Amino acid sequence: MLSVNNRKTEKLLFGFLLFTLFWLPIPLGANRPWAWALMQISIFCISASLMAFHFRTVTVVVRQYRVFVLLWVLFLAWQLLNLIPLPTSLVSSLRPEKLLPEYANVPTGASWLPLSFDVGQSQIVFLKSLCYCLLFFCVLALVRSTSRLKFVLITISASGIFQAIYGSLEVLSGIEYSLVFKQSVTHIATGSFIYKNHFANYLLLSLSAALGYLIASLGEDDGLSKRERLRRWLKFWLGNKVLFRIGIIIMVIALVMSRSRMGNTAFFVSMTITAALGLWYFKPRQKSYVALFISMLVIDIMIVSSVFGLNEVKQRLEQTDLTNESRDEVVTDVLPLLSEYPLIGTGGGTFYTVYPQLQSESIQHFYDHAHNEYLQFSIEFGVIGALLMGVFVLFCGINAFKAFQQRHHPLPRGAAFACFMAIIGMAMHSSVDFPLQAPANSAIFITLLALGAMSNRIRVRKSTTRK
């Protein structure tokens, strides 16, 4: 009876995880304190329940993915270096700027101080990092079957489709304010997000999951007759998966309507590169796979996107002029911080605190983020902290790439495709913006990384190899 109860508990936790992933983007991309607090409570509760009721599963996951455990532990410990109180005399010698009034309100007579330039923000970022760490391992612990892997991909895709429909209808309806949060609505689609580039990045991640699901659902067509292949293709287009395909088209439309230059570029480039890798490495090569991406190029990009404003995005790209952009000047301004605090950085979440002290007079806008995740991570967490996260993402990508080469079943291939496409798209988008600063985007990206990490290890039942 205990094992039955444990299975029920595991199913409940998995369902709660899916529910959490779905609602995360709805409250403004979870980019409000109360929203990310709810996210943290949800993930912490799932993690505590796993430890209490499925400790053996947790230990197996930790043992299997010990490299990822080590990277996360080191990254979290590295953040704590800026949060641990040190003697004021030591702080004054290591970081004398910390004692200046414009950087921090130092209590009179304080004998112990942390190194972070903004302790409150660094604590918030640390809790977020801990939440993302636990989310990664919750996915590894709960997604132990191919059916659950499909459910995760479907949930992320469904959330993206919901956002795409909501964002598109807001713009097309002509309303002035959004129905839920009373935000102003313009001709640019933002969904339930405030920032259009966060919305575009979320759609990029959702599209990665949706394409991964379609690949996982294609089935093997090696050795089938032409009639059987035609029957399977017709079944695909006449079955419920055609609704999923329509959902992808809607997400592409919403992505174009976001008018995000790098969001659209990152999607089309990452999809093309990942699809080409799949075409090269997937053995046996499926004709249904080739047909899927030909239809993506023809229907989504050439026909549908052009109707809903792809030309406007193209014009924005052509008219991009660095002389009219101040993002490059921000990068120039903050580069000295890398040489001044190269190891442990200024502390998580401190960019908006330290940048005003270096901001050029020519920059009139307020920048609370660097519009370059690589630079901001290196400044806040130090080069070593940024490298730890870079190696973590790299290892997830390597596992996904191995699944490309070694796995023959569509399900691991689909998970690997979703992860690899998300990594390429996020790598491109992060070079000119701050998509990871939206907790909903970070959580979905971490989930897809977990699917990529397990794609080369997840077991597939023989009965599901051909449908």
pLDDT in tens, 82-121: 999 988 888 888 787 777 765 555 565 667 888 898 889 9
End-to-end CA distance of the chain, in Å?
34
d(CA 269, CA 416): 17
Residue 307's pLDDT band, with cuts at 50, 70 and 90, is low
Rounded to an integer, what distance in angstroms lies between the CA atom of residue 381 and that of residue 392?
15
User: Which residues 6+ apart lie within 8 Å of 148 measured at CB?
Assistant: 14, 142
- Beta strand 112-113 pairing with 86-87: antiparallel
Q: What is the pLDDT of residues 239-265, one digit of tens each?
A: 667 788 889 889 988 998 888 888 888
| Most confident stretch, 217-231, 291-305, 366-380, 412-426 | 412-426
> Is there a contact between 58 and 50 (Cβ–Cβ < 8 Å)?
yes
Closest CA to 152 of 21, 258, 50, 266: 21
Q: Are 258 and 188 in contact (CB under 8 A)?
A: yes
Show the tokens assigned to 43.
């993930």
Q: Quick one: pLDDT at residue 305?
A: 57
Would residue 28 be called left, alpha or beta, if left means φ above 0 and alpha means ψ between -120 and 50 degrees? left
DSSP H or E stretch at residue 87:
strand 86-87
Q: What is the mean pLDDT of the chain?
A: 84
CA separation for the pair 375, 59 (Å, rounded)? 35
* Residue 35 one-letter amino acid: A
Contacts of 7 (CB under 8 A, 6+ apart): none
pTM of the predicted model, to two decimals? 0.90
Instruction: Characterize 110-126 residue by residue with b for buried, 16 or more Cβ atoms within 10 angstroms of its Cβ, and e for exposed.
Output: eeebbbbbbbebbbbbb
In this prediction, residues 61-66 reach a mean pLDDT of 94
> What is the sign, positive or negative, of the torsion defined by CA atoms of 198, 204, 209, 214?
positive
Confidence of residue 353 (pLDDT cuts 50, 70, 90): confident
pLDDT tens, position by position, 134-147: 999 999 999 988 88
**Per-residue pLDDT tens digits for 428-460:** 999 988 999 999 999 999 999 999 999 988 887
Helix (H) or strand (E) holding 48: helix 33-53
Rg (CA), the chain: 23
For 352, half-sphere exposure in the C-beta direction (CA atoms, 13 angstrom radius) is: 11
Mean pLDDT check: name the lowest of 119-128, 263-272, 299-308.
299-308
Task: Quote helix, strand, coil % in the chain, to nearest 5.
Answer: 70, 0, 25
Q: What percent of the chain has pLDDT over 90?
A: 48
Cα–chain center distance at 273: 18
Helix (H) or strand (E) holding 112: strand 112-113
Predicted pLDDT at 110: 67
